Amino acid sequence: MAKTLFLGARIWDASGAPAFEGDVLVENQYIRAISRTPGQLTAPGATVIQARGKTLLPGMTEGHAHLSFDAATSTEDLITPPPEEQTLATARGAKALLDAGFTSAWGASEAKLRLGVAVRNEVDAGRLPGPRIRAGSLEISVTGGMGDESRLHNPRKGPSIIIDGPEEMRKAVRLCCREGCDNIKLDVSGDPFYPNTPAHLTPMAYEEIRMAVETAHALGRRVNAHTRSIAGTQACIKAGVDVLYHLEYSDEQTLDLLEEARERVFVVPTVSLFHTIVNNEAAPYGLSAEVGARMGVPALLEASSKTHTALRKRGIRHVIGGDYGFAWSRNGSNARDLQFFVDYYGYTPAEALRCATRNGGAMMGIDSGQKLGQIQEGYLADLLLVAGDPLADLSLMTQAERLLVIMKDGALYKNRCAA
Ligand SMILES: [Zn+2]
């Protein structure tokens, strides 16, 4: 039996209680025992980690992963690479997340249908390093919606399946399920990157969304929705969508509906894309703050701040992450979201970390029944040992060299602590 004993750590267990000093014993993939008195636990044959002065916390979950987005600068970068190169890039994306302390990744969409599936299978088999993955699908969109790159004079395939009507939706969802995707991604609303259908519009019809949910749930899968518009978000809640992405525009009625559904849905705001554009971090790639302003990005960022601050107060289960994988917000820098949650949505650092750990863990275990995302006896041992106190300085979570130990499923993926 593989055992690891963390001695004298400052334990932040994500339950909402303050950190305390103690020991944690891991046996096989589970947290077996926690002692609030350091030195009480012994385990012959265990790997011992002297953790005094360091912070032990649960591994993080990325709530909207694009493992195959390899520093993309445009949709062209998703469409044109050969599948062989994209498969390798997806494997690198998975490793980048685990290296950054993300022991779980909830897949949004991938550039090709089976990229997330193939890498998930390799990681599960222990042949590639990566987080616990729920594989995302291709985007499912409608004619003229986000992801429809085709025009009459230039027919071409985007990183999407284009459907019109419930029957075509049923077929697309079944296809994604047949090929092994865990999560089905719908492009419900418009998007600032698609001028024909701006963010406040809702190209996908309720009947299409409802069919996607019925089909996915019948096959034991979950549905993610790209929804920035009020009508889109209301349709998603009514149709039973499980995970809502972006969600910038809202009104009182929408906030009420979300609050009523808060035990059922998870919400991932994906603020990074807009933050980086507004702060000119995407300028070297042709997407300056000025270009972003013409696309309406500052207004969307303001709307995001308003909506998600209100949702925080209503107790919604927010999860960090989203839309990392672009050149200006690469896979591996996802923990920047922690500070964004403080700056834009008014979370305390501890609450932002709970969005990353406790809420993310609840999301990942939704169908498996596995308990993860907290340091409690019987929970999966996904743990991070951090040099310093991330509750006092969230930027520590973005510094790979500060992550001294990364444990997933009870296995030491990284251990920079001398015994
Ligand atoms: Zn995305």
Tell me how far the alpha carbon of residue 66 lies from the centroid of ligand 1, in angstroms: 7
- Output the pLDDT for position 157: 84
Tell me how far the alpha carbon of residue 186 lies from the centroid of ligand 1, in angstroms: 11
Tell me how far the alpha carbon of residue 260 lies from the centroid of ligand 1, in angstroms: 25
Tell me how far the alpha carbon of residue 193 lies from the centroid of ligand 1, in angstroms: 12
Tell me how far the alpha carbon of residue 245 lies from the centroid of ligand 1, in angstroms: 8
What pLDDT tens digit does each residue of the chain (419 aa) get?
Answer: 799 999 999 999 999 999 999 999 999 999 999 999 988 898 999 999 999 999 999 999 999 999 999 999 998 999 999 999 999 999 999 999 999 999 999 999 999 999 999 999 999 999 999 999 999 999 999 999 998 988 999 888 888 999 999 999 999 999 999 999 999 999 999 999 988 899 999 999 999 999 999 999 999 999 999 999 999 999 999 999 999 999 999 999 999 999 999 999 999 999 999 999 999 999 999 999 999 999 999 999 999 999 999 999 999 999 999 999 999 999 999 999 999 999 999 999 999 999 999 999 999 999 999 999 999 999 999 999 999 999 999 999 999 999 999 999 999 999 998 65
Count Cβ atoms below 10 Å from residue 1 Cβ, excluding itself: 8
- Output the pLDDT for position 196: 87
Tell me how far the alpha carbon of residue 8 lies from the centroid of ligand 1, in angstroms: 40
Tell me how far the alpha carbon of residue 173 lies from the centroid of ligand 1, in angstroms: 18
Tell me how far the alpha carbon of residue 154 lies from the centroid of ligand 1, in angstroms: 25
Tell me how far the alpha carbon of residue 352 lies from the centroid of ligand 1, in angstroms: 20
Q: Which domains does the chain have, with CATH numbers?
A: 3-59+372-415 (2.30.40.10), 60-334 (3.20.20.140)
- Output the pLDDT for position 158: 82
Tell me how far the alpha carbon of residue 282 lies from the centroid of ligand 1, in angstroms: 16
Tell me how far the alpha carbon of residue 118 lies from the centroid of ligand 1, in angstroms: 19
Tell me how far the alpha carbon of residue 323 lies from the centroid of ligand 1, in angstroms: 4
- Output the pLDDT for position 26: 98
Tell me how far the alpha carbon of residue 107 lies from the centroid of ligand 1, in angstroms: 9
Tell me how far the alpha carbon of residue 399 lies from the centroid of ligand 1, in angstroms: 24
Tell me how far the alpha carbon of residue 185 lies from the centroid of ligand 1, in angstroms: 9
- Output the pLDDT for position 415: 96
Tell me how far the alpha carbon of residue 268 lies from the centroid of ligand 1, in angstroms: 10
Tell me how far the alpha carbon of residue 228 lies from the centroid of ligand 1, in angstroms: 12
- Output the pLDDT for position 419: 56
Instruction: Sort strands 60-65 and 54-58 into parallel, antiparallel or unpaired.
Output: unpaired
**What CA–CA distance (Å, rounded) separates 183 from 223?**
6
Tell me how far the alpha carbon of residue 320 lies from the centroid of ligand 1, in angstroms: 13
Tell me how far the alpha carbon of residue 95 lies from the centroid of ligand 1, in angstroms: 19
Residue 349's alpha-carbon distances to 130, 228, 419, in angstroms, are: 26, 26, 30
- Output the pLDDT for position 418: 64
Tell me how far the alpha carbon of residue 370 lies from the centroid of ligand 1, in angstroms: 26
